[in-house]
Chains A and B, each alone.
Chain A
């Protein structure tokens, strides 16, 4: 078996597992009782989505598509800081 068929087979098998775990994260986003639960679930969802984008760019054979994964992984971090700063400043009266 050559390299191309091996990579395509393994990555095609892995796609439904990724999608299932994204749906489990999304259940926590919808259901989470408080604000930090939802932010934490969106955070993990974004990081794993970035990894999924990197893997998918190998599968569809266009390596320049990897930049959107890098962008998503670095910008989803900002949501944490906004919400944390709001929650912390409201209690301290700032």
Chain B
């Protein structure tokens, strides 16, 4: 029973590694922003199952709310595909 939070955190960390790799390798910048949001969601689950809800309370608005907004605004001002 004590191993359940550790197992959930390990699976979520594996998912965040996959999302980070795809965000780095992607040629489409908008797709990279979406993958970065997926990585933020996985990190929120890790912080939650390790019993730190106050960090989730700060991490989620910054990393799901503000970071994709700034990234999408930058992509809109410049260009979408990487050359």
Contact = CB atoms under 8 A, between A and B. Distances in A.
**Chains A and B bind each other:** yes
Interface of A: 12, 15, 19, 23, 26, 29-30, 35, 38-39, 42, 45-46, 49, 53, 56, 60, 62, 64-65, 67-68, 71-72, 75-76, 78-79, 82-83, 86, 89-90
B45 interface: yes
B68 A49 contact: no
B48 A86 contact: no
A76 B75 CA distance: 20
Interface string B3-18: 0100010010001001
Contacts of A86: 30, 72, 75-76
Given A30-B22, A75-B60, A79-B68, A42 B30 contact: no
Interface residues of B, number: 33
Contacts of A56: 48-49
B79 to A, nearest CB: 11
A71 to B, nearest CB: 5
Nearest to B61: A75
For B4, B22, B38, B61, which residue has the most chain A Cβ atoms within 10 angstroms?
Answer: B38
Given A12-B1, A56-B48, A82-B69, 18 more contacts: A19-B8, A35-B31, A35-B34, A38-B35, A38-B38, A42-B37, A45-B38, A49-B44, A56-B49, A64-B53, A67-B57, A68-B57, A72-B56, A72-B64, A78-B68, A78-B69, A86-B72, A86-B76
Interface string B29-51: 01100110110010011001101
Ranked 5 nearest A-B pairs via Cβ: A68-B56, A68-B53, A65-B53, A75-B65, A82-B72
